[in-house]
Structure 1
Amino acid sequence: MKKHRTPEQWQALVDQQHASGLSAPQFCKQESIGYASFCHWRKRLSGPSAKESAGSGDASFLDLSSLMGTSQTSGPGWNIVLSLGNGVELRLSQNG
């Protein structure tokens, strides 16, 4: 029968594994924890903490006005590449 754990319990297990010096597979075997579940929760809990992600749903803006100046060597305009992950990029450019 599967044991259902809270995120706090998973965090405690992740911390215990880290402090134990055991590899994740060794720790899971010792504690009778499913390795795939442990890895899932370790990854999930390694994201930004609640404190760091507070307000992360809010839009934020980058002022690009400093990029609008004209340079004698490169000419007016800008070129921006946003890496969105998984090889996806958003390219923004303006010339002239």
Structure 2
Amino acid sequence: MRKHRTPEQWQALVDQHRDSGLSASQFCKQENIGYSSFCNWRKRLSDQPTDNSTDSGEASFLDLSSLMGTSPSSGLGWNIVLSLGNGVELRLSQNG
């Protein structure tokens, strides 16, 4: 007989799997869960947007037009440093 689980129950199982150190196949056997159902729910839950998008590692955009001076004679410029990880940095700058 199939057990119907709520999205919250599937999320708990996905979290348990992540913390278990087991492969998805091993975890499903241990918990008596259908492998394809588990994989479908894991993908479905990972595709949902989160409230903490700044911590999600997903790309986002920042409008830099506010960094531009109001006139060319304002002398204002900008310096941007993007840390890409592993000590790699991308530096962008513009001086009036």
When the two structures are superposed, what TM-score results if normalisation uses the length of structure 2?
0.51
Structure 1 unaligned residues grouped into runs of 5+? 54-96
Shift of 1:52: 6.8
Q: Letter of the aligned partner of 2:42 in structure 1? A: R
The 5 Å alignment of 1:9-88 reads: 9-49=9-49, 51=51
CA offsets 1:61-87 (integer angstroms, 9 cap, x no match): xxxxxxxxxxxxxxxxxxxxxxxxxxx
* Matches of 1:32 and 1:13, distance apart in 2: 11
Which amino acid is 2:22 matched to? L
Identity of aligned residues (%): 74
**Structure 1 runs (4+) greater than 2 angstroms displaced:** 48-53
The runs of 5 or more residues in structure 2 that have no matched partner are 54-96
Q: TM (normalized to structure 1)?
A: 0.51
**Over aligned residues, Cα RMSD in angstroms?**
1.7
